[in-house]
Amino acid sequence: MSRRRRTPLSPARLRPADLLRLGGTGLRTRPLRVFLSALGIAIGVAAMVAVVGISSSSRAEVDRRLDRLGTNLLRVAPGQDAGGQRTSLPKEAVPMIRRIGPVREVAQIGVVPDTAVYRNAHMPAGRTGSIQVAAAGPGLLPAVGGSVRSGRWLESAADDYPAVVLGSRAARRLDSYTPGTRLWLGGQWFSLVGVLEPVPLAPEIDGSALVGWQAAQRYLRFDGHPTTVYVRARDDRTSAVRDVLAATANPARPNGVLVSRPSDALAAREATESALTGLLLGLGGVALLVGGVGVGNTMVISVLERRPEIGLRRALGATRGQIRGQFVAESLLLSALGGLGGTVLGTAITAGYALARGWPTEVPAWAAGAGLATTLLIGAIAGLYPAVRAGRLSPTQALAGS
């Protein structure tokens, strides 16, 4: 009598779709706990995406400003000589700089010392509001990329009359925006003829009360020495012009002349913001790690609560690997839910902040992708221990704990 050979039974395999369906079923049975765990992940991802998005939007705004204002503006100012004494620019500095071939525009301002501006003649002398009075040479606005918000600029005819134009910050501190308003300046009345828009490449103008060059000499005893000269050069020759500016502006004391490029200050500010972005990203990473701990805690509690289910599935033939796969799938789905929600929330925060500041909205795709990938990695790690623990339970142990 021949014996039949027994064919070994192999456990049924779960397809990825089956694992996702099982994982989704496990999440649907505990909606509140799932929501709170996903919220912890979402907060961390939203923080990271929003930090990167706001930083990128700010950088895009800086680039847009530089494209509009140009990077070919150079600033010349007096410095100190070898003995530590403050130097001054000669009165002929502007005509001498204008002789440099690649120079396109030259303009100057000269601070009038010991002179302040007030709304009326009865203000205490010390309450200047940090507003400086400066003489403005012709062609200043085109050179610095400025524009008039209200009223008009100082025309050549205004040199014969006591007229003043306020920078944006000076107008705000004096609360004076209407052309025709009288201001007490240098011991006499001046007529406000205009208010400027903010000048990003020359912020010192924003806090200044500007009068005509000749009017400053006539009414305010201005000595005629410029304190800042703004130079526009050809884009491809800016560095070459920068190299010869000091010696051209003050041939007698070239070492006492400071030459800078205002656009470098904007780039330096962008670098500072990048450093701050790194710090905020670290905080967002901590929040994401805390969210991962929440996922791990949720999965551990899920294993403890679902021991009867695990025992029943093991008794019906589910392998340890299938049990592990089910709980890892739940953890990944939970993390993906939080990651997607955090990406949407972070993008919305970025868009709202950029819209409020008038910036272009820019959220790098790599930031959203990295946030989601990091979330899945943390979710897999957080769910690994509970999954292994669930897979180790034998049917008798699991059913005995019910």
Q: What is the pLDDT along the chain (402 residues), one digit of tens a residue?
A: 455 566 565 555 667 776 677 667 767 777 887 787 788 788 888 888 888 888 778 777 777 776 666 678 889 999 887 677 788 899 999 999 999 989 999 999 999 998 989 988 777 766 777 899 999 988 899 888 899 999 999 876 666 789 999 999 999 999 999 999 999 998 899 999 999 999 988 889 999 999 999 999 999 999 999 999 999 988 888 888 888 999 999 998 888 899 888 767 555 555 555 555 665 666 666 766 776 777 777 777 777 677 777 777 777 677 777 777 777 888 888 888 888 988 899 899 989 988 988 888 888 888 788 878 888 887 788 777 777 777 676 766 656 655
Tokens of 398: 């699991």
> How high is the pLDDT of residue 49?
84
pTM score = 0.59
Nearest-angstrom CA–CA distance, 228 and 240: 20
Cβ contacts of residue 243 below 8 Å, gap of 6+? none
> How high is the pLDDT of residue 376?
83
Q: Do the beta carbons of residue 393 and residue 311 sit within 8 Å?
A: yes
> How high is the pLDDT of residue 230?
94
User: SS3 for 176?
Assistant: coil
Q: Do the beta carbons of residue 223 and residue 194 sit within 8 Å?
A: no
Q: Do the beta carbons of residue 302 and residue 30 sit within 8 Å?
A: yes
Phi-psi map region of 53: left, alpha, beta (phi>0 left; psi -120 to 50 alpha): alpha
Picking from 25, 4, 15, the residue whose alpha carbon sits closest to that of residue 334 is: 25
Q: For residue 245, which amino acid is it?
A: L
**Distance spanning both ends of the chain, measured CA to CA:** 47
> How high is the pLDDT of residue 377?
84
Q: Do the beta carbons of residue 339 and residue 292 sit within 8 Å?
A: no
> How high is the pLDDT of residue 363?
85
> How high is the pLDDT of residue 112?
94
Q: Do the beta carbons of residue 240 and residue 54 sit within 8 Å?
A: no
> How high is the pLDDT of residue 195?
96
